[in-house]
Chains A and B, each alone.
Chain A
Amino acid sequence: MGGTTSTAGRAAITASAGPHVNTSAAGRWLDRQFVRFAVAPTTLMMLGVFGVPLLLSGMLSFQGWEATRGLFAGEFVGFDNYQDLLTDPNFLTSIRMTVIYTALTVAAELALGLAIALLLNIDLPYIVVFRTVLIIPMMITPVVASFCWKLLLDPDHGVINYWIGEHIVWLGNPSTALFAVAVVAVWQAAPYVSILLLAGLRSLPHEPVEAAKIDGASVLQTFWHITLPLLRPYFLVALLLRTIFEFRAFDNIYVLTGGGPANATMTLSQFTYLTSFVKFDMSLGSAASWLMLLMSMLLCLFFMTTVRRRDAN
């Protein structure tokens, strides 16, 4: 039996555990509980920082809120908070802005990310340098990245206005603010998409592409009919992750516009933040956050079933 024991493992055990091997009943019982003890802290932690808070906010969302009263002393108001939200034009605007913002940023990130990944996938000398340098934007602290763009877009002293020779108030104008906010997100996330897709490109089998080449397919045909379909699973993962993360975007919007001007960048995260931590209406905020939770859960479910169905086919 001992013949299969690796010397490294045995040495480690004898060195550390000593000659006493615990074979008592208590020891065996303890051993059987290993999985429980290993998983219990994580379970408790999740309950504490995730499960219980969510339940609390579920409760709060059905209660009236008064800052002067103690927590959970508010009276039961049924679906009033939800009704208030769903009839509040600001909230409805924030849903629309979130959808527009998410669609805009995710589309741009995937397109740009794919382009970068294809370029980085070409084997040329020193390509590694570009692979390394081009992903720097995604490492930058989002708040600092947004601040950086705030300076670039500054109407009076910003270098962008200087170059185009016009005085455009990028962040104060409802028609440009959303784009300005999206640019920061795309700047940081396109490299992220590109390394996900590059990993996919690197792992694709060579045979289909080579066979297509021998059959006389052009570069574009090969790309469109062979590479892209093979890349689809990676593309879906990138799409899923980016949609989820843009749906909840907060930092860049908060730093650049704070939801304004005239609600032009008021996404759901912004709205919930303002309701809960500026107006300090925790009940309304809880209701808004539960609606947000439900929406992102639906989003996840939708993507997961899509991925599953594609895999099954």
Chain B
Amino acid sequence: MAALNYVGSRRGKLAYAGCVYAALILLTVVFLFPLYWIVSLSLKTRMQVFSKPPLFLWWPTFENYAAVSHSADFGQAFINSLVVSGGAVSLSLLVGVPAAYAFARFPFLGRNFLFFSLLAMRMLPPIAVLVPMYVLFSKLGLTTTRISVILAYTTFSLPLVVWIMRGFFEDLPRELEESAWVDGASRYQTFYYVVLPLIRPGLVAASILCLQLAWNDFLFSAVLTNNATRTLPVLMVVFSGGDSGVDWGSMTASGVLVILPVIIFSFLAQRHLVSGLSSGAVKG
């Protein structure tokens, strides 16, 4: 916009626009190449993957995807990922949305402390929380269960939900709630029947962002699951563990299948990305 606007002749403007486009196209090529490469490898046969020079034109094969979709391990991990991320998001919404409303609307004792702790939960290194969590969960007999992973995920999804939803609640005009109270509705009724329907877009945004974080997590799931309960990222790492003899075709195919839902989700929530990403940012 203003900062780099070139003021000058028509030809100068065209040349300027040309330079900008050239730079952007170069950036796009560089930034998207790794992604293009993993997709292209997933569509090659075992021979084509290792061909030299690398193939840029070939007849795509879907045999890798067929192999992956028939693998029991992948199916199980996919279900685990779905259950665990879905569970973490639902739990965080259920617990965090009323709290976000209270944060946005009512002064109460310990509000700042609680909010600061939520921020700390999001900001502090997960590995530091994971060590004691593992100890506690093994004491309770919860390790290697999906519940333990869901609980662990709330360390990042709960703060995210509270942060995002607090913003949405604050933007809501107070008049609707006040008139509901005047009409004799209880706070619970007002919250459930008046406020919640109005912030549905916020709920969607918060769930998508949490879902993305939970789906992408590796560390918590790597420590807290076993072969039966592991999620997709853990499965990817286990399969790519050995240096030689790794089947590039099926590895890349499963990689593509792992990131596809996330990319779709993210585009759905793109409008809210900035507010969600800066969640936890200190506002002065």
- B31–A16 CB distance below 8 A: no
Taking CB atoms, residues of chain A closer than 8 Å to B127 are 248, 250, 269, 272-273, 289, 292
- The answer to the question of A54 belonging to the interface, with a C-beta cut-off of 8 Å to chain B, is yes
- The answer to the question of B118 belonging to the interface, with a C-beta cut-off of 8 Å to chain A, is yes
- A300–B123 CB distance below 8 A: yes
- A52–B136 CB distance below 8 A: yes
- A49–B125 CB distance below 8 A: no
A123 to B2, CA, bound (A): 9
Known: A23-B184, A141-B258. A276 touches B134 (CB 8 A): yes
- A195–B95 CB distance below 8 A: no
- In the complex, identify which listed stretch (B57-65, B66-74, B199-207, B266-274) lies at the interface while the others stay far away: B266-274
A149 to B123, CA, bound (A): 27
- The answer to the question of A223 belonging to the interface, with a C-beta cut-off of 8 Å to chain B, is yes
Interface size on B, residues (CB 8 A): 112
Compute the total of residue contacts between A and B using a CB distance below 8 Å.
Answer: 333
Taking CB atoms, residues of chain A closer than 8 Å to B193 are 12-13, 16-17
- The answer to the question of A111 belonging to the interface, with a C-beta cut-off of 8 Å to chain B, is no
Taking CB atoms, residues of chain A closer than 8 Å to B258 are 141, 143-144
- B176–A159 CB distance below 8 A: no
- B37–A152 CB distance below 8 A: yes
- A142–B218 CB distance below 8 A: yes
Interface size on A, residues (CB 8 A): 123
- The answer to the question of B76 belonging to the interface, with a C-beta cut-off of 8 Å to chain A, is no
Taking CB atoms and an 8 Å cut-off, the chain B residues in 77-133 that contact chain A are 94-96, 98-99, 101-102, 106, 108, 114, 117-118, 120-121, 123-133
Taking CB atoms, residues of chain B closer than 8 Å to A213 are 7
- In the complex, identify which listed stretch (A32-40, A78-86, A174-182) lies at the interface while the others stay far away: A32-40
- The answer to the question of A251 belonging to the interface, with a C-beta cut-off of 8 Å to chain B, is yes
- The answer to the question of B183 belonging to the interface, with a C-beta cut-off of 8 Å to chain A, is yes
A9 to B282, CA, bound (A): 35
- B259–A141 CB distance below 8 A: yes
Residue in chain A with minimal CB distance to B197: A12
Minimal beta-carbon separation of B145 from chain A (angstroms): 14
- The answer to the question of A8 belonging to the interface, with a C-beta cut-off of 8 Å to chain B, is yes
Taking CB atoms, residues of chain A closer than 8 Å to B267 are 132
Residue in chain B with minimal CB distance to A208: B2
- A46–B27 CB distance below 8 A: no
Taking CB atoms, residues of chain B closer than 8 Å to A210 are 2
- The answer to the question of A262 belonging to the interface, with a C-beta cut-off of 8 Å to chain B, is no
A288 to B38, CA, bound (A): 37
B interface list, Cβ under 8 A from A: 1-7, 17, 20-21, 23-24, 27-28, 31-32, 34-35, 37-38, 41, 49-50, 52-54, 94-96, 98-99, 101-102, 106, 108, 114, 117-118, 120-121, 123-136, 138-139, 151-152, 154-155, 158, 162, 175-180, 182-194, 197, 212, 215-216, 218-219, 223, 232-233, 236-237, 240, 248, 251-252, 255, 258-259, 262-263, 266-267, 270, 273-274, 277-278, 280-282, 284
Sampled A-B contacts (26; CB under 8 Å): A6-B175, A12-B193, A13-B189, A13-B193, A31-B187, A34-B188, A42-B118, A45-B95, A57-B135, A130-B24, A132-B267, A133-B28, A134-B24, A136-B31, A141-B215, A141-B218, A159-B54, A162-B54, A187-B31, A192-B277, A195-B274, A196-B274, A210-B2, A219-B4, A226-B3, A248-B124
Beyond A27-B186, A38-B99, 11 additional contacts (C-beta under 8 Å) are A13-B193, A21-B183, A35-B106, A48-B151, A130-B27, A145-B34, A148-B38, A254-B237, A255-B240, A272-B128, A289-B128
8 closest A-B pairs by CB: A57-B132, A53-B132, A248-B125, A21-B184, A289-B128, A38-B98, A42-B99, A34-B187
